[in-house]
Structure 1
Amino acid sequence: MTSRHTRWARPIALLLMASLVAGCGLPRVGPTKREIYAGSVQKQGDSFVVTVNDRVTRATAVQPALGFTEQFQNAGLLGSDLISPGDTLGLTIWENVDDGLLAGEATNQTTLGEVQVDGSGFIFVPYAGRIKAAGNTPEGVRRVITEKLEQQTPDPQVEVRRLAGNGSTVAISGAVSGQGVYPIEAPTRTLSAMIASAGGIAIPPEVAQITVIRGDQRSKVWFQDLFKYPQFDIALRGGDRILVEADTRAYTALGATGAQSRVTFETQTLSALEAIAQVGGLSTAAADPTGVFVLRNEPMEIANQVLGRTDLQGAQRLVYVLDLTKPNGLFLARDFSIRDDDTIYVTEAPFTQWSKVIGAFTGTLGAVGSVSTASSTLSGDF
């Protein structure tokens, strides 16, 4: 009985191993390089497989263009003392008589501490009536009040001070140290100065984006470009809303890499080489450096340019191939730009699958041997 079990053990093990390999039952991280090529349009698939070269890197080097529109850039600086609706003014009036229109008998000075400019741009001053203040300067308002009062009291002296008010404020929110509503004053009439007055940004400057909303207009710029391009450090207007937020672009890394995850951009531009390094590089025990793929839905214009065609309509599925073993492979990976929602997939090296086959084979023989031994033991018991 024992010899019969032993005689059938090895053929059964070989049969199990063959079934395992034939049925693709071995674990793996994803499709092989051959399977990806088999899904190309050239082989009746639904994606274009393109080998990356210098021409392809130039055609695909498209990054989101951020910058303020001309309407924002052409807005001049507000005058440091220009009065707006909602501002608050401080008034002091001196009269050259003991018993004046406004002052009492003991003093010839009258202080109107806080006079707010209404929505129509006017203020009310006793005996002077409604005065148009919005669009004027404190000096201009002083002259108007003086002219009104001197018709009723001799040689009045008027002082007008502009205080911070609601009409000249901006709202700052998002990733800043101090969110809130801030007045536009002489030192904070530009975007960078206003952000600084709010404590500065609270995220790395490399990924910070600034959005300014003015009425029904909105525009966005990279934070670092405020200092790189002076025209982007725009003048502010009352009612502006400023939003500071981190770049939301990300890519997905899969396959034989150091980590498989969705990764956010850490810089304004990101190359394939930097993206691979960001997830820990290629897996030294499993990766095939000749099979680095970048999967992307490419806009029609770029797809036609990459493929040298003019007939493609709509976005196209493109699979870009990088071979890091070629003499210029690393340079091409360094120059090839990664874009938002890209997928980087690294295939396994062929020996990895062979290692798994051998592991499965030796494991199967060991398991079958154990079964044979157990069977022999049971046969001996009976």
Structure 2
Amino acid sequence: MMRALVILLSLALGLAGCGVVYKSPSVDRMAGADGKLRVVDMTPETVLVANRSVYQPKSLPPVFFNTAGYGSGLRGAGPTPEPAFDRRPQEDFLETRLPPEVNPGPYRIGTGDVLLLATPQTGSTVEQLSGLLAATNARQGYTVQDDGAIAIPNVGRVQIAGLTLEEAEAALFQRLVENQIDPTFSLEIAEFNSKKVSIGGAVSQPTVAPISLTALYLDEALAAAGGITVEDQDYATVRIYRDGTLYQIPLTQLYARDGLRRIQLIDGDSVFVDTSYELDLAQAYFEEQIRLAQFEQSARNIAISTLNTEIGIRRDNQQDERNNYLERLDLDSVVRDYVYLTGEVESQRRYELPFGRTAALAEALYGNGGVPLRTGDASQIYVLRGSSDPREFGATTAWRLNTTNAGNILLATRFELRPNDVIFVAEQPVTKWNRVIQQITPSLVTTAANTAARASN
């Protein structure tokens, strides 16, 4: 019986050596079939050549990049009415009442401020090394809207109202990093519109003076209104309305004492130059300022409510579009680019090339479990790629990767895949013999059993 078993085994191995019992795919056999397959070893130079082939990855629909709030503007109740001024008779006595000293701290960004965001444009290596790139910055202005945010393309709405310039830079840096955008930028306030002081009464040009990074003092505010125009300074007074309290400084005292001219003003102050001891005119002016502020606040609240409704509707529509697209992906109804894995891999499958970027050989190969060490030949990993030239239909290049040297695995991270590439891993020689034995072992056992049974009879 043992002799029969040995004879059958020798015969099986001989047949296997001739390719009769077991056949497995190999790149060499494919090359011999039509003579159009060219094998090229992967080296840093050949990887560069392979990556030169033109390929534009498919992109996700624009709905995945749009933000619900970008491009929206607030619609208020229109411009506020112009303030009215009047004159009253003069009196012969004025009392000095000074406002308390204030320290508002660093400037905090508010609604209406315009921020200038400067980001570096793409430049040559020479420009980057020489520092000339700073002169070619892209500068874009963004207005802080009534919800306290600025809308930046591909980033969305960034809440910065109430922040100092340094805090706003930190918040913007975080959002750029979260959206995988180069966080190199500079930020500055181009227009100061959120903090204001109104100046009216006996001045050349009643106006509203903005408060900027530097403090605004009383003499500067009066100068911004063109100066005081009263004819008799002995009966004139400068009144300051702040937080419901009225303060006043006789004009003679204002010019006689330098410290009075350097009274620091804060957001919401109203300055009124009056030529009357009576407070009726000043009171009417301040009441008018309060009504205007209430009108603006009401319009702002209406605009914010409208904007939130529009953003909610837009966001729901965008989410529906995204969900529909994802469902189409699940149903395989979206045209995708694929790479196919075959041979000695963990599973024979197709690998979807990602949207918006190229994929490397290592992603498809090792994301699928890599090369089985017991059966796969680490020296024969191939990427089969057909020619894109119609005149060379059927011509194929096999880029061979030998990972028996672990250093070559880096090449797999740099080799870019193209649609319809085939990743093929050859089997080890011992794997082929092992599979031959597995195929013929049941026959040998059956034959040996039958021979033993006949001998016993």
For normalisation by structure 1, the TM-score amounts to: 0.44
Q: Find the structure with the greater CA-based Rg.
A: 2
More strand per residue: 1 or 2?
A: 1
For normalisation by structure 2, the TM-score amounts to: 0.38
